[in-house]
Chains A and B, each alone.
Chain A
Amino acid sequence: MIEDLKKSLDSVNTLSELNEVKAEYLGKKGYITSLYSKMRDLSNDEKKSFGAKINKIKTEATDLVDDKKKKIETKILNEKLMNESIDISLPATEIKVGAPSILEKIVEDIEELLMSMGYDVVDGPEVEKDKYNFEMLNLPKGHPARDAQDTFYVKGDELLLRSQTSPVQVRTMLAGKGEKPIRMICPGKTYRRDDDDATHSHQFMQIEGLLVDKNISLSDLKGTFDVIAKHLFGEECQTRFRPSYYPFTEPSVEMDISCHHCKGKGCNICKNTGWITVSGAGMVHPNVLKNCGYDPKEWSGFAFGFGAERLAMIKYDIDDLRVFYTNDLRESRVFDRKEDN
């Protein structure tokens, strides 16, 4: 009988056909059900063994039918799912996240590094006192170096749009009252009377750093610059110092990185020198320390300044400074991305 059932099941394709077969064997009037009626005529012993046999056949038959049912159901489900199949190559619904400004990205890059080295990030007013922007930085009125920072005055000759972020250094040192060691950077907007073109901007961003402590040396500045340069431009980046002059530092240096473009061989970007100047720096001038309440006999320190635009131009091969203030979203959207340093 089981063999018969198996044969019948083989030809079954739908659930209704299966139900018919099921009724034929296991229904009220089915073959297997009808076997139970035969038990009435048997002895008790025979009943037992016959009953066991029927039960076995019934179980076996039920399993076979259930098994077939599952198969048919799976087939039906699969057919249904196949009909629901979609073209996954169709365009996604774009989840738009905003990009940082290119300048902000490079600034944050430096902030993160220097904060991990213990530098606080501070800012000060953009409308600043002449006293903090120049005088206390060893740039008295009439100092020729003031010409290089042609300044927007806001009120008389006392208030101006800061031409550098250095006044924040002054403010920080004054707050330190000649007692507290200082480690800080001050990224911020600065202003000079320059006509806007590919390499000039009347508004630009500086990132200055200041460290004042005991026994600080020019070599410490070099080491710190090495760390920053490698962080920004990769491990293979080389650095060098060149003598320079700033009224607020002595000794003063210009800090160069090896041209990442030509790897120091010489190209257009580094004007065939193999080096690119990225920062002005030096040991804080004794006059500045004194003006800000730190005794130069006891304290020393270094200060450095980067131009955020310049760094971004070098790092991302941007050839026009105006890009940062045009805010063409086609250009800036690319910068919503993680970067490996």
Chain B
Amino acid sequence: MIDLEWVKDYIDINDQDLKELAVKITKAGINIEKVITNHIDNLVIGEVMECKMHPDSDHLHVCKVNVGDKVLQIVCGASNVRKGLKVIAALPGAILPLNFEIKKSKIRGIESNGMLCALFELGLEEKNDETYDKGIYEVNDDAIVGMDAMEYLGLDNTLYELDVHKHRNNDCYYHIGFAYEIGAILNRKVTLPDDTTHPLKDSVQKHFNLKVETDKCPYYLAKMVTGVKIGESPEFIKRRLNAYGMRSINNVVDISNYVMLEYGQPLHFFDKDSLGDNILVRDAFEGEQIKTLDGIERKLTKNDIVITDGDKPVCIAGVMGGENTEVTDNTKNILIESAIFDGVSIRNTSNRLDLRSEASIRYGKGLSYEYTLKTIERACHLLEKYAGAKVLSGTVCHDKVDKTLETVIFKSSEISTLLGISISDDDVKVELDRLGFPFEYNKGEFKATIPSRRLDIEPYVNDIAEEIGRLYGYHNLVSTLPNVPIKKGEYALDIKYRKIISKRLRSLGLNEVKTYTLISPKMASMFKYEDKEQIVLPKPMSVDKSVIRTTLIPSLLNVYEYNRDHKVSDVNIYEIAKTYDNDFKEESKICMLMSSNYLLNRWHGVNVKVDFYLVKGIVQNVLDYLGFKNRYTFEKKEIPDLHPGVCGSIMLDGKQIGVIGKIHPSLTKDDIYAVELSLEALMSKVKPIKFKAALKYPEIVKDMAFAVKKDITSEEVVNVIKKAGGKLLTDIKLFDLYTGEHVSSDEKSLAYSLTFSSNDRTLSEDEVMKVFENIISKVEEKLGAKLRNQ
């Protein structure tokens, strides 16, 4: 939050429309999310001229209030309302926070033309018992009747609420840093506030020993003031802190907050007399304890930084002070600390303790050393002026900061190339000046120095290009296309296969779905058909997303159930996704889930149901499309969570590449079929397509039927037929499967239609019959089958 009235202390922006300025600043990269004004219309200072009890109430008062141009009758319920009191009066038309509009009304029969306000009613204080009991706000006697109340309170100002990217999180969140940003945008100079003091001869060095024993504190400064008189803060400090959302405590505490909001550097005030003569900054001991200002006992670890009095902790560095050295109403002498601590360490400590303070937030974002000294001097100046303090001369100092400023050497042409716009040497000079980046220029070469407050800027020409680019305005960029050779883009091989298979499955009627990689342990325990250990996240967000899946079937089953529960019919879906096992081996899986009807036109009697053989047909279609005809088989094998009688492995070149089967009836009442294939297994090379001329000679078709034992598979029969049929047998089709009264109970009948043909002649009935009979005898002999008479 930035208070624009406050910013005016450092830069002249009186000529600026603050809403337009906000747009300019946003365009240059500092995103102003909201421009807030506290102004409320029809809210004025009034004076109670007369105050009588309401005739019909024991607590309401009927007041005559002078609001400048008129005297109004207003009913007021506050106990502190009295004649002569100056008050804040909300007149009809005023809209108070929460959209509460003041209207002329009657309260218990008495006309009331407004409302006398408490601060909480104006959104300036929290509403609670304490603020409620205070009653209406008592305005100082010197206030001018009729004056705008917010202006009187100093709250009639404009605030910018920032939403700034992390890199500018430090320098844009204090008023002087923000003034520099405005300075760069408007090309104006920034004036720093007065930090002069009248130091005593006595030096702080005589009163304090400083020792820093941790490298997480590269910079530690301390100054001392004596004779402090704790009291109320001056109005402007109260007002500004209030507008920022900080409560005024007393002049001393307020000053430490005030200068932090000016320079971004947090200070810590120790009560010198409780602290003693030593400061030792070190890493905390494991388990060491300190009671912080908020009264809570905190346990530290060796990763935290503590300020100690040489022995016991007095402050968790950069996070919060200890109760033992707190500044109280009786404090006379103060040791002021201004230091740089390691941001990551502070962030970790603050996160671990779940303790976020104004200081820890600032340290966490990273701090520049540039204002560490200035802030402490400014604080002394204000303490001298507003708290009657006497400043001791000198500073206790531990300084291990490398203060060499980073520089960038570049030519303007490099900036031009990076931005794609023409920028001259003169342009660069102007822009660097605006930015407040000192530079040397020598024969076309710039050497720019990066101010230390700009922690975000690295010593690269790219960084300078960005600064110049954003001030120049990205809307001024011209669109061009890269000057690169023309070529065709390609899919990486695995993506190509994914696309091919995906398109094929869609054309076969399956809908693509996308599900989560992370699944629940329950889902992870299902369909474990491979010998794979799963990755369990060490720190999951929730149990139901704690395991990295090795199969997609459970996820697709969830999609099925969701759709079924929403009365979606014919759920035929697929997903292709990566899976990972515990050895971090990656495998892309193609998963399909099919159910209910494949083709349906009920009135017309068309109903192709999804069953095992249809799903098998889909798989065959895909495998054939990929060029694997005659290289794959389906082998019966029990698969966990699939119907033990209706499932198997899909084999390619004798290796398992996937599974197929019906979902186990114990998991669902519905007939659902699942297939899962390994994408990698399908990425092998296949033979090129070869043209085969259509037959020129007639085919001879003959049928045969066998009774075989039930456990003999059709595939076994076909294999025997194939072998016995030789070259002349060109096609085998099963056309009937029968069990029942015409065969014995342990048998089934399989009927095949065999096609015989030759490429070079018309076959004679005799030679076909010879082969045909050979087939019959081989099948009977090898499989104990009996030929059935048709």
CA distance A104 to B511 in the complex (A): 12
Q: How far is the CB of B520 from chain A (nearest CB, A)?
A: 13
Interface string of A110-125 (1 = CB under 8 A from B): 0100111111111101
Is the beta-carbon distance between B509 and A97 smaller than 8 angstroms?
yes
Interface string of A180-199 (1 = CB under 8 A from B): 01010000010101010000
Is the beta-carbon distance between A285 and B462 smaller than 8 angstroms?
yes
B604 within 8 A of A: yes
Contact partner of A118 among B487, B540, B573, CB < 8 A?
Answer: B487
Chain B residues positioned under 8 Å from A286 (CB to CB):
460, 462
Interfacial residues of chain B within 463-500, with CB under 8 A of chain A in the complex: 463, 465-466, 469-470, 474-475, 477-492, 494-495, 499
Contact partner of A101 among B465, B508, B512, CB < 8 A?
Answer: B512
Contact partner of B514 among A94, A222, A223, A324, CB < 8 A?
Answer: A324
Q: How far is the CB of A331 from chain B (nearest CB, A)?
A: 10
Interface string of A213-233 (1 = CB under 8 A from B): 101111110111011000000
Is the beta-carbon distance between A244 and B29 smaller than 8 angstroms?
yes
A333 within 8 A of B: yes
Contact partner of B601 among A91, A121, A153, CB < 8 A?
Answer: A91
Contact partner of B165 among A104, A218, A245, CB < 8 A?
Answer: A245
Contact partner of A100 among B26, B484, B506, B571, CB < 8 A?
Answer: B506
B366 within 8 A of A: yes
Interfacial residues of chain A within 91-135, with CB under 8 A of chain B in the complex: 91-101, 103-104, 108, 111, 114-123, 125-127
Q: How far is the CB of A131 from chain B (nearest CB, A)?
A: 14
Interfacial residues of chain B within 164-207, with CB under 8 A of chain A in the complex: 165-169
B513 within 8 A of A: yes
B90 within 8 A of A: no
CA distance A119 to B128 in the complex (A): 62
B709 within 8 A of A: no
Interface string of A53-81 (1 = CB under 8 A from B): 00000000000000000000000000000
Is the beta-carbon distance between B568 and A328 smaller than 8 angstroms?
yes
B535 within 8 A of A: yes
Is the beta-carbon distance between B490 and A218 smaller than 8 angstroms?
no
Is the beta-carbon distance between B502 and A183 smaller than 8 angstroms?
no
Is the beta-carbon distance between A250 and B463 smaller than 8 angstroms?
yes
* Residue from A118, A159, A287, A332 with most neighbouring chain B CB atoms (10 Å): A118
Of B416-424, B644-652, B687-695, the stretch lying at the interface with chain A is: B416-424
Is the beta-carbon distance between A329 and B573 smaller than 8 angstroms?
yes
Of A14-22, A28-36, A38-46, A140-148, the stretch lying at the interface with chain B is: A140-148
Is the beta-carbon distance between B511 and A329 smaller than 8 angstroms?
yes
Interfacial residues of chain B within 566-605, with CB under 8 A of chain A in the complex: 566, 568, 570-574, 577-578, 580, 584, 586, 598-601, 603-604
* Residue from B482, B535, B541 with most neighbouring chain A CB atoms (10 Å): B482
CA distance A253 to B29 in the complex (A): 9
Q: How far is the CB of B479 from chain A (nearest CB, A)?
A: 4
Chain A residues positioned under 8 Å from B365 (CB to CB):
144
Contact partner of A90 among B483, B489, B570, B603, CB < 8 A?
Answer: B603
CB nearest neighbor in A for B498 = A123
CB nearest neighbor in B for A150 = B541
Contact A121 to B462, CB < 8 A, known contacts A211-B482, A325-B514: no
B518 within 8 A of A: yes
Contact partner of A126 among B167, B484, B494, B578, CB < 8 A?
Answer: B578
Q: How far is the CB of A225 from chain B (nearest CB, A)?
A: 8
Q: How far is the CB of B418 from chain A (nearest CB, A)?
A: 6
Chain A residues positioned under 8 Å from B488 (CB to CB):
115-116, 118
Is the beta-carbon distance between A240 and B517 smaller than 8 angstroms?
no
Contact partner of A123 among B484, B495, B508, CB < 8 A?
Answer: B495
Chain B residues positioned under 8 Å from A243 (CB to CB):
27-29, 466, 469-470, 474
Chain A residues positioned under 8 Å from B494 (CB to CB):
123
B507 within 8 A of A: yes
Interface size class of B (residues with CB under 8 A): 35 or more
Is the beta-carbon distance between A98 and B510 smaller than 8 angstroms?
yes
B381 within 8 A of A: no
Chain B residues positioned under 8 Å from A126 (CB to CB):
517, 578, 580, 586
Is the beta-carbon distance between A144 and B347 smaller than 8 angstroms?
yes
Contact partner of A91 among B479, B491, B548, B603, CB < 8 A?
Answer: B603
Q: How far is the CB of B648 from chain A (nearest CB, A)?
A: 24
Contact partner of B364 among A92, A93, A144, A329, CB < 8 A?
Answer: A144
CB nearest neighbor in B for A249 = B462
Q: How far is the CB of A335 from chain B (nearest CB, A)?
A: 9
A173 within 8 A of B: no
B606 within 8 A of A: yes
Is the beta-carbon distance between A203 and B417 smaller than 8 angstroms?
no
Chain B residues positioned under 8 Å from A97 (CB to CB):
506-507, 509
Q: How far is the CB of A194 from chain B (nearest CB, A)?
A: 8
Chain A residues positioned under 8 Å from B513 (CB to CB):
101, 327, 332
A252 within 8 A of B: yes
CA distance A155 to B533 in the complex (A): 14
CA distance A252 to B703 in the complex (A): 75
Is the beta-carbon distance between B515 and A251 smaller than 8 angstroms?
no
B744 within 8 A of A: no
Is the beta-carbon distance between A327 and B601 smaller than 8 angstroms?
no
CB nearest neighbor in A for B475 = A240
Is the beta-carbon distance between A300 and B481 smaller than 8 angstroms?
no
Is the beta-carbon distance between A155 and B538 smaller than 8 angstroms?
yes
CA distance A251 to B458 in the complex (A): 11
Q: How far is the CB of A155 from chain B (nearest CB, A)?
A: 7
Is the beta-carbon distance between B489 and A114 smaller than 8 angstroms?
yes
CB nearest neighbor in A for B584 = A127
Is the beta-carbon distance between B514 and A101 smaller than 8 angstroms?
yes
Contact partner of A122 among B166, B469, B495, B540, CB < 8 A?
Answer: B495
Chain A residues positioned under 8 Å from B509 (CB to CB):
96-98
Chain A residues positioned under 8 Å from B418 (CB to CB):
217-218, 251, 283, 300
Q: How far is the CB of A332 from chain B (nearest CB, A)?
A: 6
Chain B residues positioned under 8 Å from A227 (CB to CB):
481
CA distance A220 to B340 in the complex (A): 42
Chain B residues positioned under 8 Å from A219 (CB to CB):
419-421, 477-480
Could you list 26 examples of A-B contacts with CB < 8 Å?
A94-B600, A97-B506, A98-B508, A104-B512, A115-B488, A115-B489, A115-B491, A120-B492, A125-B578, A126-B580, A127-B535, A144-B364, A152-B537, A155-B584, A189-B578, A216-B482, A219-B480, A222-B477, A222-B478, A242-B29, A243-B28, A243-B470, A245-B166, A250-B463, A325-B514, A328-B563
Q: Which of A's residues lie within 8 Å of B, judged by CB? A: 90-101, 103-104, 108, 111, 114-123, 125-127, 142, 144-145, 148, 152-155, 159, 161, 181, 183, 189, 191, 193, 195, 202-203, 211, 213, 215-220, 222-224, 226-227, 240-245, 250-253, 283, 285-287, 296, 300, 324-330, 332-333, 336
Sort A-B residue pairs by CB-CB distance and give the 6 closest, nearest first. A219-B420, A243-B29, A217-B420, A115-B489, A251-B466, A245-B165
| Beyond A219-B477, A219-B478, A250-B462, 4 extra complex contacts between A and B, CB < 8 Å | A97-B507, A202-B516, A240-B474, A242-B26
